[in-house]
Amino acid sequence: MKIIVGSTNRAKIGAVRDAFASIGIQAEVTGADTDSGVAAQPIGDAETMTGARNRALAAVKAGSHNFAIGLEGGVKELDGRLFICNWGALALPDGTVFTAGGAQIPLPEEVAEPVRGGEELGPVMEAYTAKADIRQTGGAVGVFTEGMVGRPDMFAHIVLLLAGQWKFSAGDAGGRQGQ
């Protein structure tokens, strides 16, 4: 099986590879530089989901793969706090798209404030942690969960939600009657 990810981000590519391996599907997973078509810092579930969908649809056109996956991280306001939000999309060559959302946790105010002011979360987190390339590794979720859940883990969960929908649609759901 060949899967293309609509990103060259190591955390996203690794998440896809690991998620499929965890369900017994060995896949050749590659990444492609795609445009999300949304702001560099997506705000809200709708914009973040749109970015994931756009990445998946752009990537599925990038060669002969079984399908493409787009993953997008964003932020959203909820109950007076700024939360991280994450979305994924799986696009088939025929144009079918499955979507799923993932974990959400609030950001500390010292991180939320510059993001609300228009800065991108990645660079804010790099300044906050004094670590470069945090988006390629544990991400904000890794920092604020003491490494118990990293960015790859969070995206892998979304990928499993996407894979489950894809398998269900193909009639691969075990135990279904009449199929």
Query: pTM for the full model?
Result: 0.90
- What residues contact 57, with CB distance under 8 A and at least 6 apart? 68, 70, 89, 91, 95, 97
Report which DSSP code applies to 28.
E
Q: Are strands 81-91 and 67-78 parallel, antiparallel or unpaired?
A: antiparallel
Q: How confident is the model at residue 127 (pLDDT cuts 50, 70, 90)?
A: very high
Q: Stretch 81-93: mean pLDDT, rounded?
A: 97
Domain boundaries, the chain: 2-169
Are 87 and 104 spatial neighbours (Cβ–Cβ below 8 Å)? no
* Average pLDDT score over the chain: 91
Q: Are 108 and 83 in contact (CB under 8 A)?
A: no
What class, spelled out in words, does domain 2-169 have in CATH?
Answer: alpha beta
- Does the pLDDT at position 128 exceed 60? yes
- 114 close to 133: Cβ distance less than 8 angstroms: no
